[in-house]
Every structure is written in C-alpha cells, then in structure tokens.
Structure 1
C-alpha cells in the first residue's frame, strides 16, 4: 500500500505576512473561519478542511474576488519554503515546476501535476484530503499566480500563460486576464493553468547547481522519511477516509488494507496507546464537519457517507462531538461570511 502523506498543513509566516500586506488582519481571518484556540495561537497544524476554511473567508473579508492574485504578489521578497527555494535555482522553468511538485508535499498534502501535450504544458492541482470539496478560489489563484511568478522571475522574462481555465462562475475577468496575460475561460470542468511548451524550456538566470547539490539531498531524505514513516494512526485514518462509504468498517478490514493481521494491528495500537474506536470516531467527526459544510448534502446522506447504519446513530454521535445536532451546527455556519464564487 502506498504510504499516505499526513493531513497536516502549516500556515506559513510568509503567507500571513502577505495576507497582512493585502489589508486583511490575521485575527479577522481566524475568527471568520471559526478556528480553534490551538490554531489561533499558531500551535497546531491545520487539517485540509481547516486550511480550506481560512482561504474561503478571504474574498469576503477583502471584498475582492481575485484576492489570491494580490496574496501571490505579496509573497515576492519574503522568505521561501525549501520547495520553492530549490525551484528558483532550477535549470529551467520545467525543472522548477517539477521540483515544486516533488517537494511541496513536505509542507502540504497537495499534488501539482504537470502534463505536457505537443505544444503545451498543463498544470492541475489536487488535494489529497480534499474529499470532494471545492478548492477555495483564492487558494487556486494564489497557487497558479505563484507558479507564474516563479517562471517570470527565474527566466527574467514576462512570461504569459497560454490559457487559464477556472471551474467557478465568471467574476473579475479583467483582473485575471491582466495578471496572467491570456484568455480566461470560466465554468471549465477543472481548474487548469496552461503554458506554451517552449516557455517551459526557458533557462533560469537564477540557476545555481552548487546550491541545488546542497539542498536536494536533504529534501530527498526528508521526503523519503516522511513517506516511509507515516504514523500508524495516520495510516488507519487514511484507510478509514477511503473506505467509510463502503459500509461498516471493523479492525479486520483495516488490517487487511494495511497488509497485516488484525492481531498485529491491535498489538501495535495498544503499544502506541491508541484504540481503533477512538480513531474511527475522530475520523468520522472530522469528515462530518467537512461534509456538513456542503449545503447540497442531506443529513441522511452524510450519515451514510460516514458508515452509519441509520440517521439516529449519527445524530447521537454528533451531539457527543459538538453538543449540537448536525442541523443546528449547519445553521451556525450560515451566519459566517460566504466566499465569492
């Protein structure tokens, strides 16, 4: 079985600084996204759902549908994470994008895919723990704009995209066309940034082979360690997230998925001070909060997706988690600022 990347995201200081440059106070973002105290104190990593919640409130707080473009521009000149640092010193634009795709997983459970066809290179971004949620528009814009800025700064040329495709309804089209220098198609099937293939061949003036020789072995070591040593709890949560909709899951089914006996799995859980039921409950709790933010899902559908045999069992569990019914909790979300499309 492929080892999972943990559902942990660290909201970097550089990102907070860029958001501040855009005129949005950190306290306002955390309050609007209803973050727990540990996140407000910057003491705990975020889950993907929490990370998405932060990004979702930014357009409303700023009053700018294209706020992600300003955030990306504000990141320039700030301290970069290692995944972007090695990219800025890559051999060419293609090499830079490939290095970002490889090493960004050290920071976030995000997959950047570069697929080349004849005269073009297409970039698509997915989130390992997105679970069908719509990726926040501000996050998509920031990622795509940051990749474009990487190419522009590395090559020292005003590269433009060939096309930008966005799955959302049309909004602020002039902002996007001016920034990316290309035609923008809204209502697309998938968010996609497309470059001319010959732009990917452009050499980087910032190429530094000596620095890469120093940084890359260490990043490779960290990536291998992260992939190989995912905790047992993370592996179990990974299986549970994938398999809950298939029906009731017991420890035998999870052990089979992890290629071990149920007795061995139980022994390892005991050694680590864990129980299967607590991991199952925690996973259901997190998924319930994610699913309930989607107004299109009926409560009974959410219960089914979490592997409950009936709606009443889900209601009882949810009241233990949140001291509210699922319906009441969902109603509180309607009072929060909603992101622009």
Structure 2
C-alpha cells in the first residue's frame, strides 16, 4: 500500500458502535431522503456495517452521514427528530447494562464508566450529590460538524436514563454542545427543561426524588453479568487503543495553531519529541503525515458541510494564508478547494 494511503487509513481512528447506524435508512425513507445518496456523500458507500455486539464503524463517517441526511432533508434538528419519531434504536452491551441497573445512580455511573465502549467520546463524567445528578461528555475535536450527532446522542442517552427513573427523576437542565437551531421548539418539547445551546460539552442535569429512584427493570444478575462483560470489553479497547489515535486527537485539539510542531504535540502527550517520532516511525508514519491527514479530513467536512469562506477554513486549519490552504487542497483533492466544494457540497433537496 502506498505510504500516503496508509497514512490516511491509519489516522481515521475514531469509532462508534455499528448499531448507531441501524435505523438511519428507515428514517431516511420516512423523510423521503435517498439513503444511497447519504452513504455516497458521507463516504460510506460500499462499506459493511458490523452490527454485532462488538462491531464498530468510523465515528467521523457516521457523524457525517447524519449531517448529510439533515442537509438533504432540510432539517437542522434531524438527529433529534430521528429519536423522537423512531426511538433510540437497537441496544448494545452498555445500554443493556443500564437497563438492568439497580437504580438511577447505578444506571448513570454505568453509562459514564462504559460509554467509551460505544463511542469515542471524551471528558465523560458522572456526578451524584444528594438528589442532584449529572452526566457530561464531549465529542472529539477532530469532528467538524457535530450538531446532528450531538442531538442524536443526547436524545438517546436522555431517553434511556429517564426510563430508569420510574417517575422519580426529572431533567432540570440540558447543556448541548451544538449551535442553537432556527427554532428551539422541538428541543424545548423534548427535554421539558431549561436548555443552553453552544455549551463546551454536553451535560444532562437531573433531580432525583425518593430513595434513589429504584429501577422498575432491575435485574441484579443480568446487571452484574453485563458489567463484567463491559469491563472486559473496556480493557480490550484500552489495550487496543492505538497510539496513532492519541496523537491524532492531540493534533486535532490544536489544529488551528499555525506553527504546530511535533514538540507541541509531544508535550501534550507528556513525552519527548524524539520519543514521539520514534514511535511513529515504528508504524511507518510521520508527524507531518498525521498532521496532513487530520487537516485533509477536516477540510473535506468544512468545504462540503459548511458555507464558511475559504479564509475562515484556512484559519481554522492553521494555515497562515489562504494561498497556503489552496495549495494544500490542490495536493489533497487534485483541484482548487472552491472547485472541490462545488462538486461535493451537500445541497438540501427542493421541496
């Protein structure tokens, strides 16, 4: 395999459970959106979706497919509408464990502890203090367009936690890390609580009444067995956690820095520049190649899924001048960025 192709494959490391994609084709039919077009424009055409309990797909591709579907449907709340109209979708080992938790606190803690098995989220935190409880998480910096992904994940987590409460749990605040939609009505109706858009991370804050909100679906044997399975799966994910993913995440978090160096990223990872370069070389990769790969993928999403001017895209990707970005885009896509955008932009369908 050529070196540049290997670099591209190796740097797209963020994953989500394959079952997250299940049901999207059905909802696209409901919304009169051609699912094959969604797959083609999101780069998923011809890919096999592994929906087994241990199967994963590209998180970036899944998030992009939701954004493409939303654009084609002309609906900036597509992800939330999907949950409201067709439900949260099929379960996997984490949500099954949550279903059988002894009480709401146990469900909240299990969600936070094992969430990384389902999706490569960051900064996951569960807090329980008396009658107040909260769950927070953030999507990776490498994802450019996340409004639909955010709505889908938040509404699924909210729905699955609320069913555990047995009527003794109410949502008191939803902080959502997406831009405010043109109309808040759908979100207000769904969450029935104060909402803050544009948050730095996603957070659901609950008020729990009674004695810890016992779970009406409680099954201690099933919960223990599923938690044991999830612990093993989490250990497997951690052992398999590719070093390249950690480096790519560090690059993504500082992608707008115009002079990002291997030393900057090495400091973030608490290692020396030489050590970082050596470990990359062991995988036949380079820092420059990873940096290019992250920039290229983010550029593709910014060009296809936003109407940001070239100057803003160049700035967000750490280019000191638009001309530098244009030359890089020609190298990545084989044509000027404006031409690539014209050919790949997702345009809402005509009603």
> Normalised by the size of structure 1, how large is the TM-score?
0.76
Tell me what 1:96 maps to: 107
Task: Quote the offset at 1:266 in angstroms.
Answer: 3.5
**Aligned residue for 1:311?**
322
Which residue in the other structure is 2:14 paired with?
7
Secondary structure class of the residue paired with 1:86:
helix
- Give the conservation status (yes or no) of the 8 Å contact 1:170–1:186: no
Matching of residues 1-341 of structure 1 within 5 Å: 6-12=13-19, 15-17=21-23, 20=26, 23-24=29-30, 28-29=34-35, 31-32=37-38, 34-37=41-44, 40-42=47-49, 45-48=57-60, 50-59=61-70, 61=72, 67-69=78-80, 71-72=82-83, 74-75=86-87, 79-111=90-122, 112-115=124-127, 120-129=132-141, 133=144, 135-136=146-147, 138-157=148-167, 160-162=170-172, 168-169=180-181, 171=183, 173=185, 176=187, 179-180=190-191, 182-183=192-193, 185=195, 193-198=204-209, 201-227=212-238, 229-292=240-303, 293-296=305-308, 298-332=309-343, 334-337=345-348
Q: Aligned to 1:161, what secondary structure does the other structure show?
A: strand
Structure 1: runs of 5+ lacking an equivalent: none
* CA distance in structure 2 between the aligned counterparts of 1:193 and 1:277, rounded to whole angstroms: 39
Count the aligned residue pairs.
Answer: 326
Q: 1:193 to 1:276 in 2, by over 3 A?
A: closer
Q: Secondary structure of the equivalent of 2:163?
A: helix
Q: CA deviation at 1:159?
A: 5.6
SS in 2 for 1:53: helix
Tell me the alpha carbon deviations over residues 202-228 of structure 1, each in whole angstroms, 9 at most, x when there is no partner. 101222222232222332233244335
Quote the Cα distance in structure 2 between the aligned partners of 1:160 and 1:253.
44
Residues 59 and 119 of structure 2 are in contact (CA less than 8 Å); yes or no, is this contact kept in structure 1? no
**Cα distance change of structure 1 residues 262 and 148 upon mapping to structure 2, 3 Å threshold:** closer
**Cα shift at 1:278:** 2.0
Unaligned segments of structure 2, at least 5 residues = 1-11, 51-55
- Structure 1 residues 83 and 158, CA gap change in structure 2 (3 angstroms): same
TM-score, structure 2 normalization: 0.74
Post-superposition CA distance 1:137-171 (Å, at most 9, x none): x4444334333432453344486534556652463
Residue in structure 1 matched with residue 5 of structure 2 by the alignment:
none
Do the aligned partners of 1:15 and 1:75 also contact (CA within 8 Å) in 2? no
Superposed CA offset, 1:300-332 (max 9, x none): 343344333433232122112112322233344
SS at match of 2:206: strand
Secondary structure at 1:245's aligned position in 2? coil
When structure 1 is superposed on structure 2, of 314-323 and 183-192 the one drifting more is 183-192
Report the Cα offset of residue 104 of structure 1. 1.8
The change in CA–CA distance for 1:126 and 1:253 in structure 2 (over 3 A counts) is closer
Deviation at 1:251, TM superposition (A): 3.6
- Given that 1:109 and 1:129 are in contact with CA atoms closer than 8 Å, whether structure 2 keeps it comes out as no
